[in-house]
Amino acid sequence: MTNADVAALFEHLADLLEYEGENQFRIRAYRSAARTIAAETESLAAIRHSTTRSLADLEGIGRDLAGKIETILESGRLPALDELSARVPAVVFDLFRIPGLGPKKVRQLVQSLGIDSLDGLEAACRAGLVRGMRGFGEKTEASILKNLAFVRSTVQERLLWEEADAILARLLVWMESCPGLDRIEGAGSWRRGCETVGDIDVLAISLSPATVMDHFHHWQETSEVIAAGDTKSSIRGPGGVQIDLRVIPPASFGAAWQYFTGSKEHNIRVRSRARERGLSLNEYGIHSLVVTPDVFPTLPAATEEDVYSAVGLPWIPPELREGRGEIHLAAEGLLPALITVADIRGDLHMHTTDTDGEDTLAEMVRGAIERGLEYIAITDHSQRVTMAHGLDETRLRRQWERIDLLNEALAADGASPIVVLKGIEVDMLEKGGLDLPDRVLEDAEWVVASLHYGQGQPRAQITSRILEAVEHPAVSVIGHPTGRLINRRPAYDVDMEAVVEAAARTGTFLEINATPRRLDLNDLHAAAAQRAGVAIVISTDAHSIRGLGAMGCGVLQARRAGLQAADVVNTLPLAALRSLLRSRH
């Protein structure tokens, strides 16, 4: 603990006391102690053990503060600060990190405006709500926005793909109105469909780069221009995310798009193929390295197809460009015909207001019809999930009666637009076994088995719970098989190889949960499952009609795994799905 560390703890304590509206004298005492300590040239530890000086001799530090300093030197902690930290809303700590926001302003933001996150603060600034408060003004508001981006950038976690996708979509709408812009495309990890995106890469074709850059800088969501060159510019957008824009002449667009889509591993392999063919390939184009007396040819590079064909390959879908064997497959003509959203016919995991969903059974069915689905399964939680008011046998059977009636009504409407399967998301209990009796599960048309509790158990225990579910004859699919939540919670410790092996043997399906924060199975696991002959189900796990829209994210993950429509159960017509279910076990 340096003197500066100790001073910082006292400053922090003073901040929180001031936030809480505490006695001014106490607050001033801590601040003045912090100043004294920070200015002291001898270390506090040395003073403490010195025979000539003592801590209580320091200006503004009495017996009480000297005792606190001793505690800090011994334990590294200031108990009064720990206590306060536990009491004050978490957002206060984030707000204090924004330059220019003192305790009083922070208190106003939290208590008067109800700010509970940095996102909330950004929204309030953009809505002009902050400038109206006492002590704030337009200038403060603008400086908060600027500093907010900075604070975020220093602790930036990678965006979920879906978040990056939404930001990019808004940017593209804005850029459409830019004069002289011929084409604009996303690249980088966004284009490869990665589950998270670090920064967003955008390429444009235009013969007047300056106009395009200017338009980019004037996007209403641009909070800061980080760097601006003649043909390249970087800004901070919503949430502090960096967006790189490059303007390319039409003749090099294919070379640039291929280069900036990546991945780096993929590009390295493509470039070495180019060299083997006597070519040099970079973001500007393709050139022959073989100089003959009269030619130094430049090859066409306006499209990605130009680039791949120059190295003897067919065009490779961006989702496969990870340097995991796709170049070999392409060279052999063995690239998979990747699944698309249009291949999906059904959605086999969703919730209703009977448990923790936001929309009723009837509303979910209507939402599914609007999405053009041919069938869905209603899979609410089982009784163990008390937080979600999970279903016991009686409530589940009552829901199934309502589904029967609904199906009859749908069928009576004429050509039945959708069939609703009677399902359940049954919990794998902590002690092993499933959360509902076999006689109930046997009556279900579709059973998702998921592990929600006891995620901290050791590998052997978790694995055996999941294997038991895989082996259970009534279980159709294992839901979100690793339990991870991107940026929030790691996967539980499970022997995925054993699960895949058992699933292949028993004909139990494995889920790609399409929820943007889950995407579970991930691409590598899904590819391994497919190789082992396991059939995959892509499901939204929707908790609202809106949630049904997540299917695209799940399909993207499946594409990264190299899956084709035939690998995915819910591309089947319902009759084929039913006969596949009958043929299992």
Interface with Ca ion by CB under 5 A: which residues? 188-189, 199, 201, 244
Q: Tell me how long the chain is.
A: 585
Closer to Ca ion at the Cβ: 188 or 479?
Answer: 188
Instruction: Return the residues of window 181-200 that contact ligand DGT according to CB under 6 A.
Output: 188-189, 194, 197-199
Binding-residue pattern over the window 387 to 426 for ligand DGT, x denoting contact by CB under 6 A = ----------------------------------------
Instruction: Return the residues of window 217-276 that contact ligand DGT according to CB under 6 A.
Output: 259-260, 262-264, 267-268
Question: Does 520 contact Zn ion by CB under 5 A?
Answer: no
264 binds, among Zn ion, Ca ion, ligand DGT, none (CB under 5 to 8 A by kind): ligand DGT
445 binds, among Zn ion, Ca ion, ligand DGT, none (CB under 5 to 8 A by kind): none
Strand order across the beta sheet in which 242-248 lies: 181-186, 200-206, 242-248, 232-236, 224-228
Contact 322, 265 (CB under 8 A): yes
Instruction: Return the residues of window 69-98 that contact ligand DGT according to CB under 6 A.
Output: none
Structure tokens at 45: 């530890």
Query: Rounded to the nearest whole angstrom, what is the least distance from the CB of residue 123 to ligand DGT in the complex?
Result: 25
Binding-residue pattern over the window 138 to 177 for ligand DGT, x denoting contact by CB under 6 A = ----------------------------------------
Query: Rounded to the nearest whole angstrom, what is the least distance from the CB of residue 268 to ligand DGT in the complex?
Result: 6
Query: Rounded to the nearest whole angstrom, what is the least distance from the CB of residue 333 to Zn ion in the complex?
Result: 40
541 binds, among ligand DGT, Zn ion, Ca ion, none (CB under 5 to 8 A by kind): Zn ion
**Residues that contact Zn ion, how many (by CB under 5 A):** 2
Query: Rounded to the nearest whole angstrom, what is the least distance from the CB of residue 232 to ligand DGT in the complex?
Result: 12
Closer to Ca ion at the Cβ: 15 or 244?
Answer: 244
- For residue 26, CA distances in Å to 5, 30, 80, 357, 544 come to 20, 6, 13, 49, 51
Closer to ligand DGT at the Cβ: 262 or 562?
Answer: 262
Query: Rounded to the nearest whole angstrom, what is the least distance from the CB of residue 267 to ligand DGT in the complex?
Result: 4
161 binds, among ligand DGT, Zn ion, Ca ion, none (CB under 5 to 8 A by kind): none
Alpha helices, DSSP H, located in 220-360:
253-261, 264-276, 304-310, 326-331
Whose CA is closest to 285, among 266, 269, 298?
A: 298
Determine which residue in the list 541, 542, 557, 560 makes contact with Zn ion, applying CB under 5 A: 541
Structure tokens at 230: 């003649």
- For residue 536, CA distances in Å to 329, 414, 483, 553 come to 22, 32, 17, 15
Closer to ligand DGT at the Cβ: 318 or 346?
Answer: 318
Structure tokens at 217: 């800088």
423 vs 581: CA distance, rounded Å? 13
Q: Are strands 446-450 and 477-478 parallel, antiparallel or unpaired?
A: parallel
**Residues that contact ligand DGT, how many (by CB under 6 A):** 14
425 binds, among Zn ion, Ca ion, ligand DGT, none (CB under 5 to 8 A by kind): Zn ion
553 vs 341: CA distance, rounded Å? 9
Q: Could you give the count of Cα atoms lying within 13 Å of 580 in the half-sphere of its Cβ?
A: 23
Q: Are strands 375-378 and 285-288 parallel, antiparallel or unpaired?
A: unpaired
Q: Are strands 419-427 and 446-450 parallel, antiparallel or unpaired?
A: parallel
Determine which residue in the list 359, 425, 511, 520 makes contact with Zn ion, applying CB under 5 A: 425
Closer to ligand DGT at the Cβ: 97 or 158?
Answer: 158
- Binding span for Zn ion by CB under 5 A among 128-136, 197-205, 423-431, 482-490: 423-431
53 vs 48: CA distance, rounded Å? 8
Closer to Ca ion at the Cβ: 136 or 260?
Answer: 260
Closer to Ca ion at the Cβ: 224 or 541?
Answer: 224
- For residue 481, CA distances in Å to 184, 238, 296, 378 come to 38, 32, 55, 19
Query: Rounded to the nearest whole angstrom, what is the least distance from the CB of residue 542 to Zn ion in the complex?
Result: 9
Which residue type is seen at 316? I
Contact 88, 111 (CB under 8 A): no
Strand ranges for 375-474 from DSSP E = 375-378, 419-427, 446-450
Closer to Ca ion at the Cβ: 244 or 304?
Answer: 244
Task: Provide CB contacts within 8 A for 565, sequence distance 6+.
Answer: 337, 339, 340, 343, 571
Q: List residues binding Zn ion (CB under 5 A).
A: 425, 541
Q: List residues binding ligand DGT (CB under 6 A).
A: 188-189, 194, 197-199, 201, 259-260, 262-264, 267-268
